Amino acid sequence: MAGILRRIKDRRIAPHHNACMKVFGIAGRSGMGKTTLLERLIPALVARGLSVSILKHSHKDIEVDRPGKDSHRLREAGCQEVLLLGRTRWALMHELRDQAEPTLQELLPRIQSCDLLLVEGFKSGDFPKLEVWRAEVGKPLLWPDFPGIVAVASDTQPPAEAPRWLDLRDTQRLVELMLSEAHDTAELTPREGLQNLSSIRLVRGLSVGDDDGHGSDHARP
């Protein structure tokens, strides 16, 4: 019994992933409009016949369930995972408890195979990203202090030293950039695994809040 319990405690997500899946990130400081931009980009990508998923980082303890619901009660009772299935969607909730936070490579197998995996947040990860920046917010660029930023999307011309600039309103050019710069997941090296994740949401068909902890959307039961 002790051996079984030890194996369960040490169990990690298998380190393999779908090499056909491409990944591209959207980064930016709080209030820059990352989610608003994604709401325009995703339909444009889908219109091209692509299947798209998102892996989104939150800095707070996220709660996609509702206290008092059966699934929440069973999770609180001690389940490591609860898979909730409804007529229009399903959601897998995994409790880290005392386990180490997973890396990007360990999370990739949890995403069903798709053409393009968009990663919102995770600004320290070394994979290609588009930074969203608006001068009116009054915050500095992430570039060059964070890796992987290949271009800046803005509604005004960013500082001259910034990398390639694209108009934040030009949806089609932004889509072309994403598709040309996206990496195969097989190209991600171990150093590009994302550490120190305070919480992870793996979402397919659920609404999610902003990665700065100020989102207002919640999953529906």
Classify 76 as helix, strand or coil.
helix
pLDDT tens for each residue of 183-205 = 998 776 554 444 333 333 333 33
For residues 122 and 103, is the Cβ–Cβ distance under 8 A? no
136-172 pLDDT per residue, tens: 999 999 999 999 999 999 998 877 777 899 999 999 9
All structural domains of the chain, each given as residue ranges with its CATH number in brackets, are 17-203 (3.40.50.300)
Q: Where does residue 99 rank: exposed (0-12), middle (13-18), buried (19+ CB within 10 A)?
A: middle
202: helix, strand or coil: strand
Buried b (16+ CB within 10 A) or exposed e, 2-27: eeeeeeeeeeebeeebbeebbbbbbb
User: What is the residue type of 102?
Assistant: P
Report the predicted TM-score, pTM, of the whole model to 2 decimal places.
0.73
205: number of Cβ within 10 Å: 11
